[in-house]
Structure 1
Amino acid sequence: MLCRGLASPRRTRADPHLVASLASLQRATQRYKAIGTKKHKPEEVVAKLRQVNVLVSQGHSVADAIRAIGVSEVTYYRWRKEFGGLKTDQVRRMRELETENARLRKAIADLTLDKLILQEEARGNF
């Protein structure tokens, strides 16, 4: 005996509209994932920003120069805001400092937690 709301065992073929919609959704998802997969290293970003500056100084429009490096205008202006006047070695140093900063913050958090545990133990609250 079947409960109400469950599919009949006779229905074995999928609805063609549903299959087409699912296939379309899968293609759109793959396209969306492919859009954001390209990551540029900071050194590459600085090089591309310099390339735009060279093209603009040669008389090209900013929009044409941005298209020539293969990124969107939004990406270009975000990069310019983030990496504006930095040189390649400065970007590398900044990345190293950010990594060290994150490591030190984690160490501080671990030591603070250890200190709190020892204080609780000294009070006899454990």
Structure 2
Amino acid sequence: MRRHSTDEITSKVKQAEELMARGQSQAQACKVLGVSVMTFHRWRKQEAARGHHANGTVTELAARTDDRDGIPPVRNRIDELRLENERLRRIVTDLLLEKMKIEEKLALRSSGGSGLSRRGEVQS
């Protein structure tokens, strides 16, 4: 299996888009490029994640900037989501620690000589 560089992928996606714009099917364009349709879809998805259209320009959303600080709104949203994710992780961690403490206390009570096993059965 051959690995393609980012530049190769970008140029092949552009070439495929041009072929499809001329009327070729996606399968025909992929055959000309020598890649599978699934590979082409994966590459297009990667291009979109990097903020490029198939023609290599930056997407309009990423190009627009927030008037307040000059940072693209997508970047602001990503930063907000990372912060929220961090807070939620802390909350979950705290709740798991509390749960473990409660379970330990319950385990100590149930095995503390009451004559009952953990399942509530009488021990012999």
The answer to whether the superposition gives a TM-score over 0.5 is: no
- For CA contacts below 8 A with separation 6 or more, give which structure has more relative contact order: 1
What TM-score, normalized by structure 2, do the two folds share? 0.39
What TM-score, normalized by structure 1, do the two folds share? 0.39
